[in-house]
Amino acid sequence: MNKYLDIAPEVREALAAGRPVVALESTIISHGMPYPKNVETALLVEQTIRDNGAVPATIAVIGGRLKAGLSREEIEHLGKAGRAVAKASRRDLPALVARGADGATTVATTMIIAHLAGIKIFATGGIGGVHRGAETTMDISADLEELAQTPVMVVCAGAKSILDLGLTLEYLETKGVPVIGYGTEELPAFYTRKSGFGVDYRVDSPAELAAMFAAQRGLDYKGGMLVTNPIPEEYAMDKAVIDAAIEQALTEAKEQGIHGKETTPFLLAKVVELTGGESLESNIQLVLNNARLAARTAAELAK
């Protein structure tokens, strides 16, 4: 086992016994929602995974240790500290470990730590991707590179709709990452069920997802698999409303000089503000939906 990695006893026992385990990120706790809603949501997502037959492993960096599985106290700590906790992508792990610091893991770092622990499936909200205007800014999320090189299935509600979805799909295609639509042939766009862009394959059951991932692993591919699971219909937002909020948020980000890893938290917080909190409730419900699918798929894979 990696000398910097701590696996929670419950997670370690489940992995040793071949039982299903689902990884969860921690950026959503410290950077995605206000306290105490962030802690309540994190615990609810963990319970949702248990209710669907798997063991949750929320991932973070605590005191310089890579953690696969957090205690309630550690989740509370991340929630209360909020944005004082570093947002940890791949490039940040060496510094955080060396300095004994805390870090809330993005999709990329959650994949890295999950893979080190032997966890094959990870549920999140939405992945990062190619930002709008990336042809001049070169602002492309490390999540896409991680999907190209780390063999973990990521279950999400598509790419965040603040991104350039067409370019994100092109980038994933270039990197050979399969983009699977769960019950859909169209890429979901986080808050909304449709984007106008197609996925590579449609799959209609957790068993089929597990079989496809097992085949990918059997072929010894080095990369992962992206499963896009549309937000439940009753929580989907009106596309015109969300698009207008995103455009205003992008304008304000540009005016304020927001860039780099601060961009996504700023845009998501601004969209919550502009939609009167409606987008926050949608965000929570899509994460729960992804947790259910990931747990059921992990259970099938464990068979």
Over residues 184-204, the pLDDT tens digits come to 999 999 889 988 899 999 999
Kindly report which listed range (41-55, 168-182, 243-257, 259-273) carries the lowest average pLDDT score.
259-273
Per-residue confidence at 62, pLDDT binned at 50, 70, 90? very high
- Compute the distance between CA of residue 92 and CA of residue 189 in angstroms, rounded to an integer: 28
- For residue 210, is pLDDT > 70? yes
DSSP characters for 99-113? HT--EEE-HHHHHHH
More confident residue, 123 or 164: 123
3-class DSSP state of 227 = strand
The mean pLDDT of the chain is 92
Q: How many CA atoms lie within 13 Å of 156's alpha carbon, on the beta-carbon side?
A: 27
Dihedral-angle region of residue 2 (phi above 0 means left; psi in -120 to 50 means alpha; beta otherwise): beta
Phi and psi at residue 145, in whole multiples of 5°? -65, -35
- Compute the distance between CA of residue 65 and CA of residue 252 in angstroms, rounded to an integer: 37
- For residue 303, is pLDDT > 90? yes
Interval 273-300 mean pLDDT: 89
Query: CB-based contacts of 49: which residues, under 8 Å, 6+ apart?
Result: 22, 24, 55, 56, 123, 291, 292, 294, 295
- For residue 249, is pLDDT > 90? no
User: Residue 277's pLDDT is what?
Assistant: 67
Is 25 catalytic? The answer is: yes
User: Residue 272's pLDDT is what?
Assistant: 72
Kindly report which listed range (90-99, 185-194, 203-212) carries the lowest average pLDDT score.
185-194
Is 73 catalytic? The answer is: no
Global pTM reads 0.92
Q: Does 3.30.465.10 match the CATH number of domain 5-302?
A: no
Query: Active site residue: 87, 160, 261, 270, which one?
Result: 160
User: Residue 261's pLDDT is what?
Assistant: 67
β-pairing, 55-62 vs 103-105, is: antiparallel
Nearest CA to 112 among 88, 84, 128?
Answer: 88
Per-residue confidence at 137, pLDDT binned at 50, 70, 90? confident
User: Residue 27's pLDDT is what?
Assistant: 94
Q: Where are the beta strands (DSSP E) in the chain?
A: 5-7, 21-24, 55-62, 65-68, 86-88, 103-105, 121-123, 153-156, 179-182, 201-203, 225-228
- Percentage of the chain beyond pLDDT 90 is 74
Domain residue ranges in the chain: 5-302
Inter-residue contact 245 to 274 (CB < 8 Å): yes
- For residue 150, is pLDDT > 90? yes
Inter-residue contact 64 to 99 (CB < 8 Å): yes
Inter-residue contact 188 to 228 (CB < 8 Å): yes
Per-residue confidence at 138, pLDDT binned at 50, 70, 90? confident
**DSSP-assigned letter for residue 261:** G
User: Residue 234's pLDDT is what?
Assistant: 95
User: Residue 200's pLDDT is what?
Assistant: 98
User: Residue 214's pLDDT is what?
Assistant: 98
Q: Measuring CA to CA, how many Å separate 207 from each of 118, 182, 232, 299?
A: 20, 12, 20, 9
User: Residue 240's pLDDT is what?
Assistant: 81
Q: Measuring CA to CA, how many Å separate 183 from each of 147, 157, 210?
A: 22, 12, 15
User: Residue 197's pLDDT is what?
Assistant: 94
